Structure 1
């Protein structure tokens, strides 16, 4: 008789795990608390506009290809992918920006214009970053984080110094132009920590940026979720929405089932892709692996204040992805990591998917997503949201030399309280736990419970870490552990 698996949550990692387990012959059911699948990667539709609520960057296309290839499929079987050119632009002041195009050759030219001699340095930096990418993404991240020995290979031993230096130190050793430094430090923000706290080895994110490029799935990132959901169903996975989990049942130190809306659903295995901290609160205290002190001492990736805006006209001087680095990064970073508070002058990011994808907004209109990184766990009120929207939209108007406030049809916001309410996110974090040196690989929360047999975890608070591609990988890793448990 087939073993049964109940999976909590339907984000990228849960959907990936469900596909691998179903392919291996398990009866799999996903339980999602919200009315649609996707976890943080949901979608907002309003008045003809379409927004990705969560992730908007499609990086590391090879990881997605590898996932679908495991099922003899290709991403193109489910969604159309377009490489963006430009990939993004970065504003440093009024009408003052650098555009990052779609090939390294073009980016090298842009760097040389900014800093004489930087093109040679950039080529070497990206070559080294590619070496790290080949080691990390093609090998290391597919280890389950059980033992430190997973990190020890003939290649990594040669790179040992890169785990004790930082991205910030390495970048500033080679480049002197502050604008170029900010661009090179930007990709590691996806890992959830400051460049000064991120090991040099993670320069592979720079290769993902400059070497592989930035892509856009037509109709948005949610198409990837729909693709994975359809693949899961093709493999026999049952998906139940509007099914929040109230408790995990444990008997004789074994996970036996889950309780939702007063009903009990028994299974042989339980995998949770929900927030790790929240999942443990579903257990009686003796069965929890990590204390509240443990979680409070960890470095979490930022939360975010997000705005989803419908404009009644096309906007000028913006690209699909546009970064606004016109204020001091270190000051903003301190407000996130060192003394958590609302930043006085925040950096922010904006995405205008309708500049390249007509399906995202009615003709002649623009869909805009604005994001301010914030410290998790700080106060979140409507008054603060309104105050910070006024801050960034005024700066946006000034930096891009256009008036847009009067062209806003509607504005929806999403912040810390929503991350908590919708995703049971610890302190309302948006991206999970940061990948610092002491929170890498085997030093992260474990995929398999140490206290409860047949209980497993997946997602961005465990191995390998935050981001969409790591979440796909996390789903594969936990599925392999489940299969190993029964082998």
Structure 2
């Protein structure tokens, strides 16, 4: 296929695979270049000793987003994944106070809150009504948009709710919850979703109380076989649409050619001679100095290559794409921009294969420390909290395929500062000392709080991951675990956009750009990128002409079709 119809997606994580599937269905000839030996990115898989661990996402929320994506890809969610609703959704262990369980029943959760604090059941009912309304407005008006035009923000629905939405952006989630609930455990349960957004309750806008509509009444799902099955499904639909997935390919530069009035400013810095003449992306849009011609890369054999393309999608870490793959003159988000941004937390992960069963744990178990504010303040200050709040996933409580018989698969996550200097993890305790200390403390804490005193002695497989691994393996900015945190100045239209302002034909998808971090957001980012490309470039397939808009729903392909 000619360069005018070729697209390169840099990064084979969830956003990259989803983007490849949608662009290929629009008629683009798509190559996905992934530097690792397997696709998936943060949503990786590791196997050892009969255990299969998900190394990243482990909560499936917002199933309607997954349903919509697979419909856009010409198939169905039910055909691709076998989802189980978890009950309980999760269990919470506290340094002070009795445990709480959130279950897959709204009325039961209201009763749990009422038992913990008189009047809290009715307060939670009102809270969830607000959360549901805010969530549905966000789905309709804020999540599926590039914010490249003011239409969404000026919609009558947004104007009518402005008196309610504006305060939600200006007040913190912590204060929003505190005005409605006194019991510390309940405040923690409602504030913790901020961590899924890469921030803390005191820094997340209260707009994100909408997250409680997802777990307290919407339920938490799990794909049988683990989250690696989701990656497999995305890879399958991308290939079926015609995309080529290339692993072991390292992209070293986005190549460009100077255009229009920006030619002098871009100069040789902005253009590689390779691929000059690719005309698929419209050059000369206001403020753009160059147009993409493709990427320079190294193949698995170490051979340097140039792949010509009219469209390049940076689905890898946005900081890396902007500051390492482009020259300074063509960076929309240069290093000075990043110095004023919040990377969100880092993480220490411990994957543990445990002999015998651990019935004290649910599929998801959260451990919350007494000094909640100090825990988050330490992370923001670059200090590893002691003790630290933590999260434990035990998928073998639901799925017998992820561990040998009479064993448990435990995934422990401890939020820590985004600091690659803490080091990398390793197998059997051979990681950096700082990383192994965090893992040891978390195992000891879990043993004491959950009442499993011999837990450490029963570990037969152990692997740790630290911020240094996120930085080295994923090019994650400052070793961040999730992506830039959803603080006020990094949410919605204040987040990094999904198109370069200086290079025509260069777009972005994934956790660094809109709408944000998490699996659903990465799928949404692929869809809004596809729609923006249709508006600005056109679809080279059946729609044919630049500027035309292909139908949103396309016919479902035969399984296995090229």
| TM-score, L = length of structure 2 | 0.84
Q: Which moved more, 1:469-478 or 1:285-294?
A: 285-294
Deviating beyond 2 angstroms after TM superposition, the runs of 4 or more aligned structure 1 residues are 93-96, 145-156
- Residue in 2 that maps onto 1:260: 297
Q: Which moved more, 1:48-57 or 1:341-350?
A: 341-350
| 8 A Cα contact 2:252 2:295, kept in partner | yes
Aligned residues: 486
2:192 counterpart SS class: helix
Q: Cα RMSD (Å) of the superposition?
A: 1.5
- What is the CA–CA distance in structure 1 between the aligned matches of 2:149 and 2:340, rounded to whole Å? 22
1:471 counterpart SS class: helix
| 8 A Cα contact 1:95 1:401, kept in partner | no
- Residue in 1 that maps onto 2:362: 319
| 8 A Cα contact 2:397 2:408, kept in partner | yes
- What is the CA–CA distance in structure 1 between the aligned matches of 2:383 and 2:443, rounded to whole Å? 20
- Residue in 2 that maps onto 1:184: 190
Alignment pair present for 1:343 and 2:385? yes
- Residue in 1 that maps onto 2:328: 285
Alignment pair present for 1:392 and 2:449? no
| 8 A Cα contact 1:147 1:442, kept in partner | no
1:174 counterpart SS class: coil
- Residue in 2 that maps onto 1:154: 156
- Residue in 1 that maps onto 2:341: 298
| Aligned with residue 86 of structure 1, among 85, 88, 93 | 88
- Residue in 1 that maps onto 2:7: 5
**1:441-474 deviation digits (Å, cap 9, x = unpaired):** 2222121111111111111111001111011000
| Aligned with residue 52 of structure 1, among 51, 54, 69 | 54
**1:329-384 deviation digits (Å, cap 9, x = unpaired):** 211101222x1122222111110000110011000000000000111125214111
- Residue in 2 that maps onto 1:377: 419
- Residue in 2 that maps onto 1:250: 256
CA displacement at 1:148 relative to structure 2:
5.5
- Residue in 2 that maps onto 1:140: 142
2:30 counterpart SS class: strand
Change (3 A) 1:331 1:90: same
CA displacement at 1:9 relative to structure 2:
0.5
Alignment pair present for 1:307 and 2:307? no
Alignment pair present for 1:360 and 2:438? no
| Aligned with residue 230 of structure 1, among 236, 243, 249 | 236
Runs of 5+ in structure 2 lacking a partner? Answer: 259-289, 299-303, 424-431, 538-546, 548-562
- Residue in 2 that maps onto 1:443: 494
Q: How does 1:190-201 map to 2 (within 5 A)?
A: 190-201=196-207
- What is the CA–CA distance in structure 2 between the aligned matches of 1:269 and 1:449, rounded to whole Å? 12
**1:78-107 deviation digits (Å, cap 9, x = unpaired):** 121000000000001489311111111111
- What is the CA–CA distance in structure 2 between the aligned matches of 1:187 and 1:100, rounded to whole Å? 13
Alignment pair present for 1:64 and 2:70? no
Higher relative contact order (CA 8 A, sep 6+): 1
- Residue in 1 that maps onto 2:210: 204
- What is the CA–CA distance in structure 2 between the aligned matches of 1:439 and 1:148, rounded to whole Å? 18
Q: Which moved more, 1:71-80 or 1:462-471?
A: 71-80
| TM-score, L = length of structure 1 | 0.97
- What is the CA–CA distance in structure 2 between the aligned matches of 1:388 and 1:425, rounded to whole Å? 20
- What is the CA–CA distance in structure 1 between the aligned matches of 2:135 and 2:96, rounded to whole Å? 35
| Aligned with residue 476 of structure 2, among 409, 425, 429 | 425
